[in-house]
Chains A and B, each alone.
Chain A
């Protein structure tokens, strides 16, 4: 199998677009929450959100194009992908809601206009979203769209890396994108999974998640063993215990981490740190903590959590959190765990709360989603080359 280099990355989030803006966010360990009242519902509710800076909620198409173009342009520029390469560039795209925010706006407009409105009219499936995305980004090539809830772009990363490692592809662009929308908000509100205030993963006061929007893009290519950042391995499994929560005994989560380490040919003791999924919902943090205890026992590597920083960006979190980690490692920073100020002793896991100097080595990244979809990735960082 060939080494797979992470040759470029881009990130568009509530922090902004640049590495500088994101690294300031990592160092400050503080997201900039926006509290929004959704009065359109018969039972109005408030939710904290992490939206693109200066974003107009009423202009979903503008927000979507902006985040896609910003993140992808930066990833391709960093990796030096020219126009000729873009014309045949394979694309692996993960999202959970795609352009549903735009379809909602169209339907709502039809309802307000008094015309016969058909929900989802003009949706045309995921293919059309892909076509529009390729058009915005000026790229072409074979493509795969992944929709596995919150693991969508993590699975996209895994599949792209395996295709490169096996020699089927030379390089691939991986995108995770999530546009905030009513369907997701209302769905999480209906499941009582939204935090009443800030998101507090693994904290004793945790009461739910804060949704975020954004886009992460990574350019993977066949590389050399000494590339600064490498995709080392990973695994993806299905936990059929429950459609909306992982097995609380931690067995399914331990299994996917074990598979990922085996795929990366690593032992548990060789890991530098673990990025937890950490959604701050009571059941999911319980399941992840149980999985960590089962897998690592008392010798667990340091744990850090990124979702309170970026928001839970659902299908985009695989690409966005990997891109944020890439930025941080290249700056020599191991991020902390924003929102976790009083670690819950019942979990048996105390995440690293504040940023620390990063050490070269292997990092495990956990991503879990509805539908029992569990994915774990391993990334190697060989030290800053700046």
Chain B
């Protein structure tokens, strides 16, 4: 059994027509930094802020793994390097180039928290959080890791119209960025990740849903294909599950936001999370919150 010992988030959404800029993260980064950091980009800033909001004042064992999930990675650094390199013919400066690497944010997170175990960057589009959660759960469950931090990080780039083109959602009016983290430990916590798997096809999804107990909450991603969304709605009605509010819209952050807000809600019960990155394949999780560990 995998326990979720802590959860924390930093999240913001912007309306394309009304936003005048991205939120300045400087103060939040200073608050999150346990040691000086220089020449870091927005993606790294977000990772530091979210991970520390999850961990709080805890001193984690060095053998705590980091599993950083993202659908798009450090877009602002890559875009800047491309502009300078391809439009102006300039070689990137070393720090600029290093910040284009997806796992650089994991390095700074590990250094900030004093960790030296496995540090991975994992992606699976809209279901990146579950991809990372599954790998981390495997390592914590097997006892190879004492604990694991799993974070879902996405950054917005400015202007938002360009950002929408970068993430292939030119029509999107609302765009989100954030850093959403959970701390996994073996057993014992008040919140447990009881189940996580990837299911193939709506029939399998329906069977899994029907095997769950009545009552509790469910969160269903807006990225589910229509046939699967109908299956979820039908079973939810029959099982008397209550819809758990997510952040709205489609974002790789959505599943993590819904889970973390449930974990931090203090409400006893079960949350079923149903997410999808493509038609016919579904990521399902069952979280259970109790008042006693």
Contact = CB atoms under 8 A, between A and B. Distances in A.
Contacts of B128: 127
A117 B87 CA distance: 10
Contacts of B142: 162, 166
B222 interface: no
Contact of A191 (B86, B88, B94, B108): B94
Nearest to B118: A236
Given A187-B97, A190-B94, A371-B106, A147 B121 contact: yes
A243 B107 contact: yes
Contacts of A190: 91-94, 97
Contacts of A117: 87
Given A42-B89, A186-B85, A373-B103, A146 B120 contact: yes
A163 B86 contact: no
Contacts of A163: 138
A123 interface: yes
Contacts, number: 204
A126 B123 contact: yes
B110 to A, nearest CB: 5
B107 A240 contact: yes
Interface in A164-183: 166, 168, 182-183
Most buried by A among B66, B88, B103: B103
A239 B115 CA distance: 9
A291 interface: no
Query: Chain A: interface secondary structure?
Result: mixed
Contacts of B91: 41, 43, 186-187, 189-190
A120 B155 CA distance: 14
A147 B88 CA distance: 28
B102 interface: yes
A300 interface: no
A372 interface: yes
A123 B104 contact: no
A238 B106 contact: yes
B219 to A, nearest CB: 20
A127 B277 contact: yes
A370 B165 contact: no
Interface in B91-147: 91-94, 97-98, 100-104, 106-108, 110-111, 115-126, 128, 131, 135, 138-139, 142, 144
A111 B87 contact: yes
A259 B118 CA distance: 11
B138 A183 contact: no
A57 interface: no
Nearest to B115: A238
A369 interface: yes
Interface in A112-147: 117-128, 130-131, 140-147
Contacts of B5: none
A224 interface: no
Interface stretch (A100-108, A316-324, A353-361): A100-108
Interface in A40-71: 40-43
Which 9 residue pairs across A and B have the least CB separation, nearest first?
A127-B125, A187-B97, A238-B119, A125-B72, A124-B168, A126-B123, A119-B82, A147-B102, A240-B111
Interface of A: 40-43, 88, 96, 100, 103-104, 107-108, 111, 117-128, 130-131, 140-149, 155, 159, 162-163, 166, 168, 182-183, 186-191, 235-240, 243-244, 252, 255, 263, 369-373
Given A41-B91, A123-B72, A189-B91, 4 more contacts: A127-B128, A155-B118, A183-B85, A370-B104
24 contacts: A40-B89, A41-B89, A42-B89, A42-B90, A107-B82, A108-B86, A120-B166, A123-B167, A123-B168, A125-B73, A126-B71, A127-B125, A143-B124, A145-B124, A148-B121, A155-B120, A168-B138, A190-B91, A236-B120, A237-B118, A240-B110, A240-B111, A243-B108, A371-B103
